[in-house]
Chains A and B, each alone.
Chain A
Amino acid sequence: GAVVSQHPSWVICKSGTSVKIECRSLDFQATTMFWYRQFPKQSLMLMATSNEGSKATYEQGVEKDKFLINHASLTLSTLTVTSAHPEDSSFYICSATRQGANTGELFFGEGSRLTVL
């Protein structure tokens, strides 16, 4: 199956700092990637849709100035959590759909666990 790689897997940062998470599609091109957030024992909540070469589309309630998304190439999308606070601690997962696939299957990255102290 298609491979989506996410980096870093774990990150601990101080409150007020910014953290960048990278999501790469390794063996296919992804014009669209999706960023999800998952709190412990909860479901995946869609944060935004990342579109290559254009602005991301954010879900209701997600602050676009706080969660900066850049999709500069067909294989890379980045999520920057700016001025992180402890309540931003969560599991952030990116995903992508393979173009031309028979199904709308999402391929997920390994996830990035963010802890803000």
Chain B
Amino acid sequence: GQQVMQIPQYQHVQEGEDFTTYCNSSTTLSNIQWYKQRPGGHPVFLIQLVKSGEVKKQKRLTFQFGEAKKNSSLHITATQTTDVGTYFCAVVGRGNTGKLIFGQGTTLQVKP
């Protein structure tokens, strides 16, 4: 089935440092979504990328979709303690049901 590999699994940073998580697929993706899950919480949608080479920004978060639409990244500039959580990329699974297949997630810890 459709799979996407996400790295790193964990990242510990000092507050103020930058953070990046990457997702890679062996096949071309129609789109990719990013979600954030706070500890003990449920995933919350951040963004969807559709176009080749697309770059979108949300305040300190920068999302990129590769030119070949096989990889994506989420970069956080100057992390804050509120950024703590697990960030997942997600891609549409096979079939036309709208189901999403999630990457393994990157758990971010921020030391104040």
Which A residues are closer than 8 A to B by beta carbons?
1, 32, 34, 36, 41-46, 49, 57, 60, 93, 95, 97, 103-111
Contact = CB atoms under 8 A, between A and B. Distances in A.
B99 A105 contact: no
B33 A93 contact: no
A110 B104 CA distance: 20
A104 B100 contact: yes
B98 A104 contact: yes
Most buried by A among B1, B44, B90, B98: B98
B42 A93 contact: yes
A88 B36 CA distance: 25
Given A105-B33, A105-B48, A57 B97 contact: yes
Contact of A34 (B35, B42, B100): B100
Contacts of B33: 103-106
Interface in B16-58: 31, 33, 35, 41-45, 48
Given A104-B48, A108-B44, A44 B98 contact: no
Contact of A43 (B48, B88, B98): B88
24 contacts: A32-B97, A32-B98, A34-B100, A36-B102, A43-B102, A44-B43, A44-B102, A46-B93, A46-B100, A46-B102, A49-B97, A57-B97, A60-B1, A93-B43, A103-B45, A104-B33, A105-B33, A105-B45, A105-B48, A106-B45, A108-B42, A108-B43, A110-B41, A110-B42
Nearest to B90: A106
A97 B103 contact: no
Contacts of B42: 93, 108-111
A25 to B, nearest CB: 14
A109 B42 CA distance: 7
A108 to B, nearest CB: 4
A44 B97 contact: no
A43 B3 CA distance: 12
A79 B35 CA distance: 23
Contacts of B45: 1, 103, 105-107
A34 B102 contact: no
